[in-house]
Amino acid sequence: MTFEMTNNVPARLYKVAASLLLAALVSAAVAAPWMGVGLYMTSGVWAALAVDLAEGMLYRPILSDDGYGGTRYFPLHFVLHAGLIKTLGNPIAAAYVISYSAGIALLAGVYRCLTQFNVSRGTAVLCALLSFSALTVHACLYQIRPDILATAFNVWGISCCISPKTTSKRWIVVATVFFTLAFLTKFTTVFGLTTVVAYWALKGRRGDAAVLALSTAVISVLALIGVNIASEGRAVESFLACATGGTTLKSILMGQYRFLYTARFDIPYFITLAAAFSVLYLRGRNKILDLPIIFFVLTLGATLIIASDTGAGINHFIDLQIAGTMLCAVQIAERPTNRFVRYALPASGLTGAIFVGAAVVFLNVYFTETRYEHHDHIMKLAGTGEKPLLADDPWIPILANEHPFILDNYSMRVMSENNPEIADDLFKKLDDQFFRAAVLFYGNQAPRGRDRNLNIETDARNLYYSWMLYPEGFYDRLTQSYAPIEFVGEYLVLLPR
């Protein structure tokens, strides 16, 4: 495979950057499952949905004797996860199989898009690898979430609509399938479809644009109706209870700030974005209607809206990284450009490789215990019994072969604002010491070292970010009946007083 590139870009630099990044990604892919990197609160919600389905429950009720439901997550990812749980018998292995397979699919999809844009195959391979430089991609790849799967479907849908050969109805059908799968994986992933519809409409293919949009919408709606019927109405009930995630007009207006604040440490990401904005300027007015530009601009707009959600994390920014990399790759392959754009992708890739490599070393040196060892210690403190656990992180009960009583504590806050009955039920259970133990997630706020439990009552209260989780007043009500016992890694264990 030859590596041909215009604009006097040094091929060796791209090869070195891509090779180092690939080596770092593979090292992290090996280390992540061993350390339990992806086993944290949010991925646990997806795992709990999959475990529920593997046991025959598609979307649990919002309030029942078996616990609290409520989620706005769409079904495709956890349906696949549930199927693999039945096949492999291990929810962790099943989750990583999906995540890493989605990563490979995304890599292949970016490569196919670039070759459809007439980027040489060698250049497309290296630029596709360099699109994985940003921390947002790593957050999706190793934290076993559906974002990377949705992005892969989205990119493959676009790849079916670039070449003039896609006037064939067969390609429109294939694109419809991919865009539908992207939506059913993550309901905000609609900007790929919007990009193609807008591009075709501007190019005079209004009939094809209408067929693609209408067919995707109809199939998606029919699929959701089927999911709701299969769940006996619980799916729509869950979506309606949690869909907005607490988003308000004020939070939407703050979207730009939240975007910059959330992604502030992702240096490779901002290198790519800066280069992409440079390309927007360089391509000028004559090329403003190119598909890569439309894709980048629409994805940017969608990302800023998504960032307005108070629960949005860096994982939601992966699509903009992919769109920005594709725009830069097309630019350097097509026409003369400035030095910054020529060197941006390898600079981003080298920075990403350093970040990932440093993270792997840090995990192995700084953390003397894995997440699994933390879990075993937590379960020793919590003990066994008929009473359930109250756990921020659903992985805690899942790894102990128990049923997570709370599906998503973030949704608990949103739902309780609309339905006070949920907060009343939870608070009554706390007062009655219904749970045998409570396990709260503190993340990086958790004290470390020998003296981490020296001032446990004070630290536990001051460091817990309960304003985002559970109903208002949760922590005060909890500690009336439960006492902090020990910080274990990023968690705090509380037992009945």
How far does the chain reach from its first CA to its final CA, in angstroms?
A: 68
- Please give the average per-residue pLDDT across 452-472, as a whole number: 83
CA-CA distance, 286 to 484, in Å (whole number)?
64
Confidence label for 254 from pLDDT (cuts 50, 70 and 90): low
Residue 183 is predicted with a pLDDT of 96
Both tokens of 371, joined, read: 């997440």
Q: Hey, is 411 helix, strand or coil?
A: helix
Residue 3 is predicted with a pLDDT of 47
Confidence label for 37 from pLDDT (cuts 50, 70 and 90): confident
Residue 1 is predicted with a pLDDT of 46
CA-CA distance, 198 to 295, in Å (whole number)?
10
Among residues 326, 329, 73, 319, the alpha carbon closest in space to that of 192 is found at: 319
Residue 92 is predicted with a pLDDT of 93
Q: Hey, is 293 helix, strand or coil?
A: helix
The predicted-structure confidence for 124-166, as pLDDT tens digits, reads as follows 999 999 999 999 998 888 888 899 999 999 999 999 998 766 5
Q: Read off the amino acid at residue 65.
A: D
pLDDT cut 90: percent of the chain above it: 56
Tell me the Ramachandran region of residue 308: left when phi exceeds 0, alpha when psi lies from -120 to 50, beta otherwise: alpha
CA-CA distance, 106 to 138, in Å (whole number)?
13
β partners of residue 64: 67
CB 46 within 8 A of CB 78: yes
Integer angstrom CA distances of residue 166 from 120, 169, 186, 375? 20, 7, 25, 51
Per-range mean pLDDT, top range of 60-74, 239-253, 281-295, 330-344:
60-74
Packed helices 206-230 and 234-242: angle between N→C axes, nearest 10 degrees = 110
CA-CA distance, 295 to 290, in Å (whole number)?
9
**pLDDT score of 331 more than 70:** yes
The predicted-structure confidence for 90-115, as pLDDT tens digits, reads as follows 999 999 999 999 999 999 999 999 99
**pLDDT score of 323 more than 70:** yes
Q: Dihedrals φ, ψ of 327, to 5°?
A: -65, -45
Angle at 76 between CA 73 and CA 78, to 5 degrees: 70
Assign 3-class secondary structure to 151-207. HHHHHHHHHCCCCHHHHCHHHHHHHHHHHHHHHHHCCCCCHHHHHHHHHHHHCCCHH
Residue 249 is predicted with a pLDDT of 58
Q: Dihedrals φ, ψ of 482, to 5°?
A: -130, 140
Residue 163 is predicted with a pLDDT of 74
126-135, 262-271, 460-469, range with the lowest pLDDT: 460-469
**pLDDT score of 2 more than 50:** no
Burial class (CB in 10 A: 0-12, 13-18, 19+), 420: exposed
Q: Hey, is 127 helix, strand or coil?
A: helix
The predicted-structure confidence for 412-450, as pLDDT tens digits, reads as follows 888 888 888 999 999 999 999 999 999 999 888 888 888
Residue 246 is predicted with a pLDDT of 53
CA-CA distance, 445 to 451, in Å (whole number)?
14
Q: Taking the complete model, does pTM exceed 0.85, yes or no? A: yes
CA-CA distance, 215 to 209, in Å (whole number)?
10
The predicted-structure confidence for 367-392, as pLDDT tens digits, reads as follows 667 888 999 999 999 988 889 999 99
Q: Residue 168 contacts by C-beta under 8 Å, 6 or more apart in sequence?
A: none
- Residue 453 DSSP one-character state: T
Burial class (CB in 10 A: 0-12, 13-18, 19+), 432: exposed
CA-CA distance, 88 to 370, in Å (whole number)?
22
Angle at 20 between CA 14 and CA 21, to 5 degrees: 85
The predicted-structure confidence for 171-209, as pLDDT tens digits, reads as follows 899 999 999 999 999 988 999 999 999 999 998 889 999
Radius of gyration of the chain from Cα atoms?
Answer: 24
